[in-house]
Structure 1
């Protein structure tokens, strides 16, 4: 008997020890994409997912990351490749409005918001310690940018043997006009070669109900 794709997705579950990672849904980046078609769809899908997670009676560990630097940006070498990538986005100063989680997304006292200082979600913070302490074995990723923050986090967590799900509707390349091109490579090719799961927002919502 052949198992169809639909049958597989209808039985999809994240298990019991899973975490939701929302990568860099910060005001400065959301403002950079909100007036584009791809950006509006991304924001709507991430908001829908985040609302569903927050409404779940037994809420999973939910972590937001935001990129910012302390006064004087001691963590950032501006002449290095990563420093040059940030040019044009403005300041990423600690406590500034730009680096707060955008108001499009619900957060409360149960959420964990982590500062990071590079692409990888765990750069300069306690992400790895938190995941280990909470016995997490599965992570569900949303965020931007796809080729940078998301893929860097995927590769690192892959090396740590986590089960990884990427919600295809909840990731976005920068600039948004390049998203279709990069999504075909990253989501359809690279993640498939790594035997990682790329799921739609609809699949994610169904799996959330079962988990």
Structure 2
């Protein structure tokens, strides 16, 4: 999708920034790759711009985490098998904290969840409704999992969704280009969801 088509972007008055799983265990898995390094730089750039915005939007960081022993997850299920290689995702552990390169302050909401979608096993939808949010701007990991699962739920709930191209990454990183080509350039535009650049997103904050 050609980002020049989105030269005049207006998020409206009631919008939220949704940062999906910027957590240490996932960032650590990609930080030593060129793709991961670029992602960290772009996420930090976006996060700084949001925090410095004169009319700062509602900002939510999701974090995948579970109680000790993962009572929220049935062993042997597809989801359990998928997350197992990354560890326990124990609530409060260092690996489930927002990665150190990204600033989080008292105005941000850090929201635990227990599934791919940020709308599942969390109170995200209640928060969005309480603030009258109509539009959501998404960044995060992983593109084919967390990001897409959340987008589908938001789409079904009639939210306007923007995805920042440079701010999403799939795992493993060597598969990102192929998945991004299909999802960002074909699938999301077909759904009417706008894919924009990080610079376009920053410009739209004002």
Q: Would the TM-score normalized by the shorter structure come out above 0.5? A: yes
Per-residue deviation, 1:5 = 7.0
Per-residue deviation, 1:88 = 1.5
Please name the residue that 1:200 is paired with. Answer: 197
Alpha-carbon contact 2:16-2:58 (below 8 Å) kept: yes
Q: For 1:119, which of 109, 116, 125 is the aligned residue?
A: 116
Counterpart Cα distance in 2 of 1:202 and 1:168 = 10
Please name the residue that 1:33 is paired with. Answer: 30
Per-residue deviation, 1:171 = 0.2
Change in 2 beyond 3 A, CA 1:79/1:200: same
Per-residue deviation, 1:22 = 0.1
Secondary structure at the residue paired with 1:86? helix
1:107 pairs with 2:94: no
CA deviations 1:90-120 (Å, max 9, x no partner) are 2211110000001111100000011000000
Unaligned runs of 5+ in 2: none
Counterpart Cα distance in 1 of 2:162 and 2:7 = 15
Counterpart Cα distance in 2 of 1:43 and 1:147 = 18
Per-residue deviation, 1:123 = 1.3
Alpha-carbon contact 1:10-1:206 (below 8 Å) kept: no
Per-residue deviation, 1:144 = 0.4
Per-residue deviation, 1:75 = 0.2
Counterpart Cα distance in 2 of 1:178 and 1:140 = 24
Q: CA RMSD in A?
A: 1.2
Q: Which TM-score applies when normalising by structure 2?
A: 0.97
How many residues are matched? 205
Counterpart Cα distance in 2 of 1:158 and 1:5 = 21
Please name the residue that 2:129 is paired with. Answer: 132
Q: For 1:16, which of 6, 13, 21 is the aligned residue?
A: 13
CA deviations 1:4-47 (Å, max 9, x no partner) are 974x5332111110000000000000000000011111111011
Alpha-carbon contact 1:19-1:138 (below 8 Å) kept: yes
Secondary structure at the residue paired with 1:87? helix
User: For 1:38-77, what aligned pairs fall within 5 Å after superposition?
Assistant: 38-77=35-74
Larger radius of gyration: 1
